[in-house]
Amino acid sequence: AKAEGRGTYRVFAADMDEEAEERRVLESDLRQALADNALNLYYQPQVDGASGVLVGFEALVRWTHPVRGEIPPSVFVALAEETGLIITLGDWVLREACREAATWAPSLKVAVNLSPRQFQKPDLPETVLAVLAQTGLSPDRLELEVTESVIINDMARAISILRRLKGFGVRISMDDFGTGYASLATLQAFPFDKMKIDRSFVAQLGVDPQAAVIVRAVLSLGRSLRMGVVAEGVETSAQRRFLADEACGEMQGYLFGKPRPIGDYAEMLCCPDES
């Protein structure tokens, strides 16, 4: 039993080494991908809740590893967060998304995800301002999506950074609303323009009666706090109908379009002044 125990331990230790080694390799591959400009951005349509008219796109980062193929963002964005590479990655995403959006019809906005780590850099507002200046994108066409974790890390600093960003005219959305710890007080203290109802609630519409109660409550909260509400993960016309009946401001999900290379949506980007 003793020998077996030791053997088990050794296998376990070897697994750990292997895992750590795999992480190190993936980290260095990601670093290389960033240096080679080998990441891609996909874009997912966001539509007006009542009319279904396109209002903009959310930019979502993609990485096709040369050997391992498509790596999910849940894996490599998390790795980038842990290693600090998220700063380089986040800067690239922001610049690329703004550069792209500047070529669209002026009515279309772009939503960019910001990770909590990016908020720890006090020069975030200056970075955003520089990117807007370099790309020529009007600030009111940029929406920054942040999660509730940004708030709990360092509340005072986060508020001051968000205020400065809003001072430029940039909009701020609270992502994945309902999955974190945001209290009503924090929601009110933070200068959010929008809340995005997490897709876990939308997915349960028509399945779990509680989901309808929660979604209605979030929409009502949004109206009371004068924040827009975006429903994420809308996949069925029944979900869409429910949300439209409840006057949900904007929607996003596979029903309207999956995240794709922007070229796949080329016909939707056309500038009105060209027609």
Q: Site residues (CB under 6 A) for ligand C2E?
A: 44, 60-61, 72-74, 77, 90, 93, 113, 115, 175-176, 199, 233-235, 253-254, 259
Q: Report, in Å, the least distance between residue 153 CB and ligand C2E.
A: 14
Nearest residue (CB) to ligand C2E, 113 versus 135: 113
Judged by beta carbon distances under 5 to 8 A according to partner kind, the member of ligand C2E, Ca ion, none in contact with residue 259 is: ligand C2E
* 60 strand-pairing partners: 42
For residues 163 and 193, the answer to whether their CB atoms sit within 8 Å is no
Local structure of residue 260 (DSSP, 8 states): B
Measured from each CB, the residue nearest to ligand C2E is: 253
Q: Report, in Å, the least distance between residue 34 CB and ligand C2E.
A: 12
Nearest residue (CB) to Ca ion, 29 versus 228: 228
For residues 173 and 144, the answer to whether their CB atoms sit within 8 Å is yes
d(CA 232, CA 175): 9
Judged by beta carbon distances under 5 to 8 A according to partner kind, the member of ligand C2E, Ca ion, none in contact with residue 60 is: ligand C2E
Local structure of residue 153 (DSSP, 8 states): H
Burial of 210 (0-12, 13-18, 19+ CB in 10 A): exposed
Residue numbers of the site for Ca ion (CB under 5 A)? 113, 145, 175-176, 232
* 143 strand-pairing partners: 111, 171
Nearest residue (CB) to ligand C2E, 74 versus 275: 74
Copy the structure tokens of residue 165.
Answer: 């960003």
Could you please report the per-residue DSSP string of 22-48?
Answer: HHHHHHHHHHHHHHTT--EEEEEEEEE
Nearest residue (CB) to ligand C2E, 228 versus 253: 253
Instruction: Report which residue type is found at 120.
Output: Q
Nearest residue (CB) to ligand C2E, 41 versus 108: 41
Nearest residue (CB) to ligand C2E, 40 versus 106: 40
For residues 97 and 59, the answer to whether their CB atoms sit within 8 Å is yes
